[in-house]
Structure 1
Amino acid sequence: MTVTGRQKAALLLLQLGKERAARVMAQLDVAEIEDLTSEIMRMDRVDQRLADEIVDEFYGVAEIGPGVGGGPGFAQQLLEASLGKEKAAGMIERLQASMAGHSFEFLQKADARQVVSLLDGEHPQTVALVLAHLRPDHASAILAGLPVDVRADVAHRIALMERASPDVVAVVIEALQRKASAVLQPRELAAVGGVQPLVEIINRADPTTEKSILEGLFERDEALADQVRSLMFVFGDVVLLEDRAVQLVLRQVETGTLAQALKGSPTEVRDKILTNLSDRARENLVEEIDLLGPVRLSQVEEARAAIVQVIRGLEESGQIVVRRDAEDELVA
């Protein structure tokens, strides 16, 4: 069995007992403590011979009892002894949240259409719970595949969701496990859902799905819909970007796409883009816009969505920081 250095350190701490282990962890930085605690939370019972070998490797002498216990309970006690209850609670919650997605790992690798079929007939709250645990891009594809009348309901429930009971999640996992014939070992989880996860899901949806979800949200909860809209980046928000950020974006957009996107756009948006082009590029773009003639609205929306995706990609990679108010924007 291959054991990593982090796992060896975690095993050693388990054998020191809470008080001595706490003194050791108190000498580590926060990142190291989180790494070791994450390993401890994954451990339940460890083979005695392996434990002996680890102790022998570190100290040359093994003096432990029968078996080594770990798990969330031990991890929390250890953290409370070294960091205090308040900091320990926050760290445990962050670790549990980061581990939550593993509970639905078999869905992470499944095709979105397969997941849609799997969730067919499930209560919207169940669907919301599942999507809140998946990667935003995967959840977005699944949300787009749901019936139109279900999308907004599910989106609304994701936004209002704060925490998920481990018992409820276990029931959902067990039911989906039976339907999908997949092997899954559920783990405890903490905070899931909320407005920001919903925004990330919608941001990755196609324009038609995005519009459908927002309209449905508006019908159910106008204030929530406004909150979601305020956190989303749309094509018109390009005026909020610094000039250097706009220039980075324009390098990745073809002139034809840009010309279609600017059809019927507000003057301030058009000016923002044109002023960040060279004289020659500006002339070529204006000429192409004039040559286009009437353009279908769907084509304009697709072009604008493509540019927004470029902006979101640059933001996610850290090359630009998008501001949505009067704050300064930083460009790497």
Structure 2
Amino acid sequence: MSVRRGGELSGKQKAALLLISLGPETAANVYKHLREEEIEKLTLEIASVQRVEHGDRSRILEEFQQLAIAEQYISEGGIEYAREILQKALGKERALELVERLTSSLQVRPFEFARKANPLQILNFIQTEHPQTIALVLSYLEPKQASGILAELPQNVRYEVAMRIATMDSTSPEVVSSVERVLESKLASMTSLGTMNIGGLDALVQILNGVDRSTERGILDYVETTDPELAEEIKRRMFIFEDIVMLDPKSVQRVIRDIEQSDLLLALRTASEEVKELVFSNMSKRMVETFKEDMEYAGPVRLRDVEEAQQRIVAQIRRLEDMGEIVIRRGGSEDVLV
């Protein structure tokens, strides 16, 4: 490829020259995060480069650095903050160009200011809003933040908000922007088009995994009286077999005693090394030897049988927790054993 001056290069050519300039090791790490199609196009572009002019290399590296800094400013303080800082450093024209390029390609999530705020401050800000509005805001927050806020809401509001998060599918950008402007007038409006997928079961599950057991049980009981199928699906997603690592050693030992050993043998077939290590560390030496021998010489089994065994173990873990016999360490609170 005959390399033209930096200002005339296409985006694909700049990307190729940037990877060449960064060296093979860094380029290889970048490749790990690209799609196969992108890798093919970049590889062809790189292969066509005969040499990189020093001036082009310097301009491309400088442009990349400016974009990286601009993206960092956006993630730290939002679009307006990035624009203000960049204008002081690079001038108005260059700052506007960088921000426009980034906001056209990045998914700049709304309510960025709220994710950096204290949960109690947010609570004071939204607790008098309609449950649908509260659900919308919580869906955009980090799960740990949303857990703390949800737990502090009045009980009737808490249950209603949880239901609305679970059943929320998509919300128009206009509605999100309207709520966002009310909560934070300085934050720029959204840049994405169409509808945005927020809320849903996964959002509620992450939030509930961070609240205390009493709050979780109250919300699940409420959902169960309104929509039993929804409640069952939430419970199923809240604790998977790999989450056994959240049990303390005594709880693991209790689970091992209460479940069918054949189920545990099956369940461990696809378990992570961390789970296996935890389980084996809470068995007797002879039992570990027996399990490992059985696992080594057992024939192939259906994945469905393994998953069903794991589900039976999870169900027993949930029952033991409901009975107060074991403790599951949760992200949003410190469980104290007495």
Provide the TM-score with structure 2 as the length reference.
0.50
Task: Say if 2:238 is the partner of 1:215.
Answer: no
Q: 1:137 to 1:44 in 2, by over 3 A?
A: closer
Aligned to 2:118: 110
Aligned-pair distance for 1:254? 6.2
The aligned residue for residue 268 of structure 1 is 259
Higher deviation after alignment, 142-151 or 30-39: 30-39
Q: How many residues matched?
A: 229
Quick check: 1:107–1:115 contact (8 Å CA) kept in 2?
no
2:90 to 50, 54, 61: 50
CA distance 1:184–1:301, shift in 2 (3 Å):
farther
CA contact (8 A) 2:212 2:330 kept: no
Aligned partner of 1:21 among 11, 33, 42: 11
- Structure 1 contact 37–75 (Cα < 8 Å) conserved: no
Distance in 1 between the 2:321 and 2:235 partners?
22
Can you list the C-alpha shifts for 1:136-159, whole angstroms capped at 9, x where unaligned?
111111111112222232122222
Distance 1:167 1:149, change over 3 A: same
Displacement after TM superposition at 1:175 (Å): 2.4
Q: What does residue range 245-260 of structure 1 map to in structure 2 within 5 Å?
A: 253=248, 255=250, 258=251
8 Å CA contact 1:159–1:194 kept in 2: the answer is yes
Displacement, 1:302? 5.9
1:177-208 per-residue CA deviation (whole Å, 9 max, x = no partner) reads 48xxxx65555464422221211111111111
Could you say which residue in structure 1 is the equivalent of 2:201? 195
Are 1:122 and 2:129 an aligned pair? yes
Instruction: Tell me if 1:307 matches 2:328.
Output: yes
Pairwise mapping of residues 66-105 of structure 1 onto structure 2 (< 5 A)?
69-70=96-97, 74-75=101-102, 92=105, 95-96=106-107, 99-100=108-109, 103-105=111-113
Amino acid at match of 1:268: I
SS at match of 1:70: helix
| Structure 2 Cα separation of the partners of residues 67 and 73 of structure 1 | 10
For the Cα contact (< 8 Å) 2:224–2:231, is it kept in 1?
yes
3-state SS of paired residue (2:118)? coil
For 1:26 and 1:44, the matched residues in 2 are separated by: 28
Q: How many percent of aligned residue pairs carry the same amino acid?
A: 26
Per the alignment, in what secondary structure is the counterpart of residue 205 of structure 1?
coil
Choose which of 159, 165, 175 in structure 1 pairs with 2:172. 165
Separation in 2, partners of 1:302, 1:108: 36
Q: What do you get for the CA RMSD once the two structures are aligned?
A: 4.9
Unaligned runs of 5+ in 1: 1-14, 53-65, 78-91, 283-296, 314-332
Question: Which consecutive residues of structure 2, in runs of 5 or more, have no partner in the other structure?
Answer: 1-5, 20-29, 39-63, 265-277, 288-318
Q: TM-score w.r.t. structure 1 length? A: 0.51
Q: For the residues of structure 2 that align with 1:198 and 1:302, how far apart are their CA atoms?
A: 23
Partner of 2:143: 136
Q: 1:38 to 1:212 in 2, by over 3 A?
A: farther
SS at match of 2:97: coil
CA distance in structure 1 between the aligned counterparts of 2:328 and 2:154, rounded to whole angstroms: 27
